Amino acid sequence: MVSLTHLEAALAAVDAEVKALLYDESLSMNEKDQKMLPLLRESKVLKQAYEDLCYLKENPPSSPSGCKAGQYRVEEEKK
């Protein structure tokens, strides 16, 4: 899956930014915290998306037709 590769690259980029902030001695701890908090939130979301896609890759949906929402909508229109 190409999206997994993109997520891995994004995670690596965010991790590199966090490490750069950690080693930046010109910033106070408060400034580091303010800059790192959004990065850590982004990292958490990226990790969750990566885990979800890995799960779906290993355990694809059992239904060969995919999502059934369209089928129900068509049945409602016929009534």
pLDDT tens digits for range 12-60: 999 999 999 999 999 999 999 999 999 999 999 999 999 999 988 888 7
Instruction: Report the number of distinct structural domains present in the chain.
Output: 1
18 burial type by CB count under 10 A (0-12 exposed, 13-18 middle, 19+ buried):
middle
Print the domain residue range for 13. 2-78
- Confirm whether pTM is higher than 0.75: no
Sign of CA dihedral 41, 47, 52, 53: positive
